[in-house]
Amino acid sequence: MGRRTWLAALALGALACGGGEGLPDGRIVDLSHAYGADTIYWPTDERGFEYETLAAGRSGGSDWYAAGRFATAEHGGTHVDAPSHFAEGKDSVDEIPLERLLAHGVLVDVQAACAADPDYRVRVQDLLDWEREHGRIPAGAIVLLRTGWAARWGDRARYLGTEASGPDAVTSLHFPGLEPDAARWLAEQREIGAVGLDTASIDHGPSRRFETHRILAEAGIPALENLASLAELPAKGFAVVALPMKIAGGTGAPLRAVALLP
């Protein structure tokens, strides 16, 4: 079944079987952290997420009305890196083909290796080991990497490897990521749709050249960062819907990602 046919079947099946009540005999897993005052951003962003309440109360004695205004950098919290973030002329957020953001999902669990080495980089061998047990990674799939770092969310020092902020802080980051060779293999040998993980960057913390970002960006592959609840997913047999705010020309955007389990 082609990707477009499969996407249509997924949507129609949910409508036809759910009776308007969602997915029957299945489950929806929220893969996104909420945005708020404690949302973790890249250390060079010192403003974080800002929310201003414009109105909250009752007018005329009974009618409730509330509204607010928010401000955020593109790259903070659960978000997508568009290819244009690291590759000139490649897709911005609003140009990413939807087929890359709604697709079959696979989960590669590397938390044991990451627990032993906080700077671990997922290798081609990790991906081959996954395929040996579960079969070939499908073309167009969204590949999710579970490092276990989502359990550290809310503790900035443990999550990023440092409490520091500002430009100098990037030299003291420690968290797992995806090895450049593995990124190239996923792009060229498996032609995946997107890749995501539960850390602050698809490159590991000590990276200075962001080679994995650049390889994926040149291949047109978006990266989903700071994902949540990957522990609730099986190795395969689920779908991922990862829809960002549609920012014209954006290099990244806040992301609401969910997994659909049968």
Whether 137 and 124 have beta carbons less than 8 Å apart is answered as no
Residue 59 pLDDT exceeds 60: yes
In Å, the largest CA–CA distance within the chain is: 66
DSSP letter at 202 equals S
Nearest Cα to Cα of residue 100 among 138, 144, 141, 145: 141
pLDDT at 29: 98
- Residue 15 pLDDT > 50: no
**CA proximity to 149, closest of 163, 139, 159:** 159
Contact at 8 Å (CB) between 100 and 193? yes
Q: Sign of torsion, CA 123 127 132 136?
A: negative
Which pLDDT does position 18 carry in this prediction?
41
Domains and CATH numbers, the chain: 3-261 (3.50.30.50)
Quickly state the pLDDT bin for 251 (edges 50, 70, 90): very high
- pLDDT at 3 exceeding the cut of 90: no
Sign of CA dihedral 102, 106, 107, 113: negative
Instruction: Indicate whether 12 pLDDT > 50.
Output: no
pTM, 2 dp? 0.92
Residue scoring higher pLDDT (262 or 213): 213
- Taking alpha carbons only, the member of 198, 199, 150 closest to residue 173 is 199
pLDDT at residue 23 above 60?
A: no
- With pLDDT > 70 as the criterion, what percentage of the chain qualifies? 90
Burial of 214 (0-12, 13-18, 19+ CB in 10 A): middle
Phi, psi (rounded to 5 degrees) for 116 = -80, -25
Task: Tell me the residue type at 252.
Answer: G
Contact (Cβ atoms closer than 8 angstroms) between residue 120 and residue 176: yes
For residue 124, the surrounding DSSP H or E stretch is: helix 124-134
Of the pLDDT bands very low, low, confident and very high (cuts 50, 70, 90), residue 16 is very low
Report, as an integer, the average pLDDT of 49-62: 91
pLDDT in tens, 97-156: 999 999 999 999 999 999 999 999 999 999 999 999 999 999 999 999 999 999 999 999
Instruction: Please determine, for residue 24, whether its predicted confidence score (pLDDT) is greater than 80.
Output: no
> Residue 9's pLDDT band (boundaries 50, 70, 90)?
low
Contact 40, 156 (CB under 8 A): yes
Report the mean per-residue pLDDT for the chain: 92
Mean pLDDT over 230-257 rounds to 98
Q: Which residues are catalytic?
A: 85
The answer to which of 19-23, 97-101, 209-213, 249-253 has the lowest mean pLDDT is: 19-23
Using pLDDT thresholds of 50, 70 and 90, give the confidence band for residue 20: very low
